[in-house]
Amino acid sequence: MIGPLDAITLARTKIRSKRLRLLITTVVSALVFGVMAGATVLFDGMASSLTAFGRQNLKGQYLVQGAQNPARMYTSGPMTMAPNDPTLIAEVQAIHATYVAERKAAAKRLGITDYDERSEIPPVVDDPNPGVPAEYRRTVNHSSVAYGRWLKAKLAEMPVEAADAVAFQALVAPYGATRVYEARNLAHLQLRLLVDGKEDLTKVTNSMAAGPTAEPTAQDKVMQTALGNGSFTVVDDQLVQNYLVAPNAAREATQGVPVLVTVEDALAVYEKSLSLPKRPTSPKEQIQWFTSVRDKVNGATFISCYRNAAEQGRVEQARVQANEKEANKNNRDWVRPSLELALPTSPCGMVTVARDVRTNIERYAEASRLAFDREFTPQEEPLAEPVTFQIVGLLPSTSPTLSGVDSVLASMLSTNFGFGAVIPEQLWQSLPTELRHEALFAKPAQVDPTSVMWGGNQGDTHLAAFPTVDKARSAVRANSCTMNWSPVCETMPFQLATYGSNYLAVDDITTQLRPVIITLLIITFTIATIIIWAMMGRVIADSRRETAVFRAIGAKRSDIVAVYLTYSLWVALRIVAFAALIGAAIAIAIEVLYADRATTIARLAYGVFTDDPTFTFIGLRSPVLWGILGGIVAMTLVAITPPLLRNIRRNPIKDMRDE
C-alpha cells in the first residue's frame, strides 16, 4: 500500500524527471492566467477606492438622477405622424384658417388697419430640395402657430403617465432609496455677468466675429464661464457639503446669493483682481494650490443681470436708435423718431424714455398694437434685476493640461453636481428676503408645446439617494437602456444614471466590456486547458509502464490515483503560485506608479482632504480572482482524468510487455 508520504515522494520524483516540459507549461499558463488575475485585482481595487471616496463625499449616500425619458414622446400619438401626412396637413391648415380669422377680428376690434395675414408663419411649406420626391415635399411647418395649437391639443388628449417628483419617488422607493432631492436649473434666466461690475450696452462685443480662428479676448474667456453665461443650478446643501468653506471676514461684511464655482471659472474671473496662482503641473502640488485658491475667493462677490425678453427688446431698440442718431448727426433730412429710448446709465438699469413727442393718435395706435400682440402672445412687463452672488466654496475641475493616464483617472474620478455653478439651497434660503430674489428664481423656463406630456419643468432634475452602491446599481440597471428606441425603453417614464460622482465607473466599464471579457476568458481558458491537457496527458501516457509496475507489485488503483493526483495538484499549485506572482507584479507596478496621482485627483474631485481614504489599485475581494486561481486547479485535475483512467484499467502484463 502506498501512503500519503510515499505518494508525495513519488510525485516529486516525477516532477524532477520532466523539468523542461513542466517549466514551459508553467510559464505559458502562468502568463495567461497572471494577466487575467492582475486585471481583476486592478478592477476590484479601483471599485473599492471609488466606493470609499464616494462614501466620504456624500456621507454614505449614492446618488441617482432621473431624467424624463424622451423616447415616450416619439413612440405613440401625434409625434409619430410624418410631417407630410395629408391628414396632418389638412388639420393644421384648418387651424391656421381659424387663427387668421381670430387675428383679423381682433385687428378690426382694436382699429388696426395694417394687419396682413401674409406676415404670419405659414402652416405648410414646400421643401426646395429637388432630390426629395414631389409627393414628400409639402410638409407642415413645426414653427407655425397652427402646428403648435394642433400638437398641444393632441398631447392633452393622450393618457400620458406622469413624470413628476411624486412619480419619481414612487419609482425609486422599491429599490431602497432613502431620500429624494430636486436640482433646479436656472440657465433659462440667462443671467449675464457684469464684468468688474460694469456694463456696456452700446454694442455687442465678440472677438469670434472676427473669424472662427480669432483668439478670444480676456473678456470673452470670462463670458464663456458658467458665471458669464448664467449657468446656475440650485441643489441641497448636503450634496455639496464637502466643497463649502467656513465664513470669513468678507462673508460677514457683505452677503449675496451663495454660489459654488469651479476652480477654472474662479481663475478666469478673479485671477488678476485677487492675484490667484496658476494651476501647477505637478500632481503633488494640486491640493495645496486648490485650497489656496479656495481661501482667496471665499467671500468674493460678483453681479449678474437679469433682463426679460420685453426689456431686452427695449435695449435693442434703444441701441438701434442710438446708432441711427450717430450715423445721421450731419443729415438734415433725417427725421427723428417721435419716441426715443435711452440705454441704461447704471449697470443692469432699465431703459428710459429720452424723448416722447407722439401725438394722441400715435399713442392710441401703439397701445392698440400692444393689446393686439398680447392677446395672442402674452408678454411680461419689462424688467431688469441685478443679482449679487457670493462665493462660498470651490468645485474642482479637471486640468486641461492633464494627458495620458492622468486624464483617464481624472475622467473616472470627476464629480458634477449641477450645470455650471451651484447654489446651495439651504444657505440661499437663510438669506434675508430682500437678497433671495425668490420671484426671479421661481420663474419657469419657457417650454414648447411638446413639454405638455412631461408633467414637469424642463431642466429640473430628480435625484434619489441610496445607502449602498448595490441598491443604486440595481435602480440604474432596471431603468436605463443602451438602445433609446427599444420597446422596453419606450415604457420607462425616467432614464436613471449616476449623479455627482462616477462611483459606478468600473462597473460601467465592466458592463460595456463584458462580452469582450467573456470572450477573452473563454479563449484564455481554452488555450490554457489545451496546454495543460497536452502536457499532463502526455505525462500520464508516458507512465503506462510505471503504472503497470505499481500494479504488479500489489499497488491498488486508488494508490496509483493518489500518486498522480498529488503530482497534478503539485503542478497546479506551481501554476497558481506563478500566476499570482505575475498578477501581483502587475497590480503593484500600477499601484507604485499611479496610486499617489489617483489619490490626489480623487481628493480634489471629491473634496476629501483627509489622510484617509487613499486610492488603491489593489483589491482581493473579487470572486472572479479566486475563480481564476481555483479554475487552474480544477482544469489540471480534469486534464489528467481521462488518461489516468485508461492507464489503471489496462492490463499491467500487456503494458509491461509492450514497453
Number of folded domains that form the chain = 4
Do residues 352 and 397 share a domain? no
Report the C-alpha gap between 637 and 570 in whole angstroms: 11
The answer as to whether 654 is a domain residue is yes
Residue 490: pLDDT over 60: yes
For residue 271, tell me if it sits in a domain. yes
Q: Which residues contact 114 (CB under 8 A, 6 or more apart)?
A: none
**Whether residue 265 is found in the same domain as residue 406:** yes
Question: Which pLDDT value is given to residue 499?
Answer: 85
Determine, yes or no, domain membership for 405.
Answer: yes
Domain span holding position 30: 4-60+505-658
Q: Which three cell numbers stand for residue 221?
A: 474667456
pLDDT digits (tens, 9 = 90+) for 498-517: 888 777 776 666 666 667 76
Query: What global pTM score does this model have?
Result: 0.76
Residue ranges in 302-348 assigned as alpha helix (H)? 309-327
> Per residue in 298-313, pLDDT tens?
999 999 999 998 999 9
**Interatomic CA distance for residues 31 and 26, integer angstroms:** 8
**Is position 497 within any domain?**
no
Question: In the structure grid, which three cell numbers stand for residue 222, read together?
Answer: 470670462
Domain boundary pick from 347, 382, 417: 382
DSSP string, 163-200: -SHHHHHHHHGGGT--EEEEEEE-GGG--EE-GGG---
Report if residue 65 sits inside a domain. Answer: no
Residue-level pLDDT at 382: 93
Q: Indicate if 390 and 278 belong to the same structural domain.
A: yes
Mean pLDDT for the stretch of residues 212-226: 73
Which residue among 359, 382, 405 closes a domain?
382
pLDDT of res. 155? 73
Percent helix, strand, coil in the chain (nearest 5)?
60, 10, 30
Residue 76: pLDDT over 90: no
- Who contacts 38 (Cβ-Cβ below 8 Å, separation ≥6)? 582, 583, 584, 585, 586, 587
622-635: pLDDT as tens digits: 777 788 788 788 87
In angstroms, the CA 505 to CA 478 distance is 17
C-beta atoms surrounding 395 within 10 Å = 26
488 in any annotated domain: no
Q: What was the pLDDT predicted at 390?
A: 96
- For β-strands 301-307 and 257-262, DSSP reports them as unpaired
340 with 300, same domain: the answer is no
Domain boundary among 440, 466, 492: 466
Q: Do residue 219 and residue 107 come from a single domain? A: no
Q: Are residues 36 and 84 in the same domain?
A: no
The reply to whether 481 falls in a domain is no
Asked, for residue 500, whether it belongs to a domain, the answer is no
Tens of pLDDT, residue by residue over 325-354, are 999 989 988 989 999 999 998 999 999 999
Q: Are residues 616 and 540 in the same domain?
A: yes
Summarize pLDDT for 81-116 with one digit per residue, the tens.
778 888 889 999 999 999 999 999 999 998 888 889
**Pair (333, 443) in one structural domain:** no
Q: How far is CA 525 from the centre of its chain?
A: 36
Under DSSP, the state recorded for 133 is -
pLDDT tens-digit series, residues 445-474? 765 544 444 444 445 789 999 998 889 989
Residue 294 shares a structural domain with residue 399: yes
Mean pLDDT of 174-186: 91
Asked if residue 403 and residue 260 are part of one domain, the reply reads yes
CA distances from 230 to 197, 307, 350, 632 (A): 15, 12, 20, 59
Residues 516 and 648 in one domain: yes
| Statement to judge: residues 292 and 314 lie in one domain | no
Neighbours of 522 (CB within 10 A): 10
Query: Is the Cα torsion angle 276, 277, 283, 284 positive or negative in sign?
Result: negative
27-32's contacts with Cβ under 8 Å and 24+ in sequence apart are 27/578, 28/531, 29/528, 29/531, 29/532, 29/575, 29/579, 29/632, 30/575, 30/578, 30/579, 30/581, 30/582, 31/582, 32/524, 32/527, 32/528
Over residues 248-260, the pLDDT tens digits come to: 998 888 899 999 9
pLDDT at residue 386 in the model: 95
